[in-house]
Amino acid sequence: MNSAMQCSWKAVILLALLSIAIQYTAIRTFTAKPFQMCPVTVSNPLNCGMLWQDAVDLSGDQRICDDFLYFTSNVSRKSHVLILATTRSGSSFVGQLFNQHQDVFYLFEPLYHVQTTLLPRLSHSRTAGDTRVMLGASRDLLRSLYNCDLYFLESYIKPQPANHSTDKLFRRGASKALCSLPVCDAFSPGELNIDEGECVRRCGGLNMTLASDACRERHHVAIKTVRIPEVSDLRALVEDPRLNLKVIQLVRDPRGILASRIETFRDTYRLWRIWRATGRRPYNLDLTQLTMVCEDFLGSVTTGLSRPPWLKGRYMLVRYEDLARNPLQKTKEIYEYLGLIMDKNVGDWIQNNTRGSNDLSAKHKYGTVRDSAANAESWRLKLSYDMVDYTQTVCQQVLQELGYKTVSSPEELKNLSLTLIEDKTFLPFL
Ligand SMILES: *[C@@H]1O[C@H](CO)[C@@H](O)[C@H](O)[C@H]1NC(C)=O
Ligand SMILES: *[C@@H]1O[C@H](CO)[C@@H](O)[C@H](O)[C@H]1NC(C)=O
Ligand SMILES: *[C@@H]1O[C@H](CO)[C@@H](O)[C@H](O)[C@H]1NC(C)=O
Ligand SMILES: *[C@@H]1O[C@H](CO)[C@@H](O)[C@H](O)[C@H]1NC(C)=O
Ligand SMILES: *[C@@H]1O[C@H](CO)[C@@H](O)[C@H](O)[C@H]1NC(C)=O
């Protein structure tokens, strides 16, 4: 009772401050077009007793009240999650940790469409101008998607969808919500493991109206992307109180990323294979394929770990190797940080796809864990010492920041009883 009263007067003050903040954000961020307000689902914003179920397991009443007030009014009470990753860093696996959740609307790499539309010639070297345009468009799209406006995505899909229906959404089948009711009625409601290809074959065109509805029905939206270079590129979104956005940054040992890319993207990384096979580094090797990973990681991690106020409560750094070593425990930590309750599906999925929380020798279809399954350090057998040595030079600082040890001889490299992963705890920024 007492705390409810306390909440009421605080609420009045905070709401007043908040509306100023919102106006400010609106003016600063949305000069071009009016912003659609999120639907407010709380009938009485001052009733602090009516708690947001997801926040229940956070610390103490006061914390809950403050959070509650902060996100009431015209502010989204939904939690929104962005998985900030790079290719072959384990992002599909992390995406699944959200995709499997019943109350999460998950999208796999929607920014693919922005890139293919704005930069159709897939260029690996990016110019500052390209990056700026891509990022601006990406942020606008993300903002719309977090508000469940999927129509906005249509302007980037080719051919442009007619009647809000398309069969060209990138990796539609990777999103459980887009393969089940009400969006698709091809599978029985209890079906848990819908195959991605099966979804695309049997669900027919994607009705964007229904997809938007499905998004609105869920409390959280999670989006995975490898197309945002650094966390600071997301600042405008993170600072927007209506979005309540939290960033999970996934990092991985760049040597592991390199080894995995060389195996996966055989054409693009052809010269790296030549280097490995011949022992000689091709003169025309595209080094940005490596340096960009390390620069982006370093930029993000430096920002994240310096704990700027705008990231408070909104940034968690996750090492892929830690997730691979202990998926269930790490996933719990992630959910706890987000203030969400991890539902049974997620735990079951982890059990099924990693065979237990620790045993990673299981074979399963998610590449990320399949890699780690054999050994999170299997890259050591796939790269030559020269390549590793080179990577260590280029990425020295980021390796150190993230707690990955370097090797100084081919023997050390191949001696797997010598782990290169330091036990390092990255406390989430609360
Ligand atoms: C919330 O939004 C509604 C309609 O968009 C508006 O009438 C109301 O004044 C807003 N409330 C606050 C506290 O900003
Ligand atoms: C879109 O809907 C209109 C009206 O229902 C119909 O005439 C048209 O053929 C549809 N277009 C496509 C591409 O399905
Ligand atoms: C998409 O779903 C909406 C809502 O059920 C429906 O009105 C519309 O006709 C559907 N669009 C297509 C192209 O089937
Ligand atoms: C896990 O595996 C069991 C047994 O194969 C299956 O019945 C269940 O649906 C699976 N659950 C998930 C979430 O994948
Ligand atoms: C591998 O490393 C372990 C641990 O440092 C060491 O005891 C062992 O002698 C090394 N093996 C070889 C073949 O160098």
Q: Does the beta carbon of 415 sit less than 6 angstroms from any atom of ligand 1?
A: no
- Tokens describing residue 6: 């306390």
Q: What's this model's pTM, rounded to 2 decimal places?
A: 0.79
Please state the φ and ψ torsions of residue 52, each to the nearest 5 degrees.
Answer: -75, 115
Q: CB under 8 Å to 151, separation ≥6 — which residues?
A: 164, 208, 212
CA distance 134 to 111: 9
- What's the CA-to-centroid distance between 309 and ligand 1, angstroms? 27
Tokens, residue 98 = 């959200």
Distance CA 45, CA 15 (A): 9
Least Cα distance to 334 among 345, 346, 344 occurs for 346
Domain ranges within the chain, ordered by starting residue:
1-75, 263-430
Torsion of CA 232, 237, 239, 240, to 10 degrees: 170
Residue among 74, 75, 77 to mutate when testing ligand 1 (max atoms within 8 A of CB):
74
Q: How far is the CA of 364 from the centre of ligand 4 (A)?
A: 13
pLDDT in tens, the chain (430 residues): 454 444 454 454 445 445 444 443 443 344 333 333 333 333 333 333 333 333 333 333 334 434 444 444 444 468 899 999 998 998 999 999 999 999 999 999 999 999 888 877 655 556 778 788 889 999 999 999 999 999 999 999 989 999 999 999 999 999 999 999 999 999 988 887 888 999 999 999 999 999 999 999 999 999 999 999 999 999 999 999 889 999 999 999 999 999 999 999 999 999 999 999 999 999 999 998 899 999 999 999 999 999 999 999 999 999 999 998 889 999 999 999 999 999 999 999 988 888 644 444 433 444 444 444 456 788 999 999 999 999 999 999 999 999 999 999 999 999 988 999 999 988 888 8
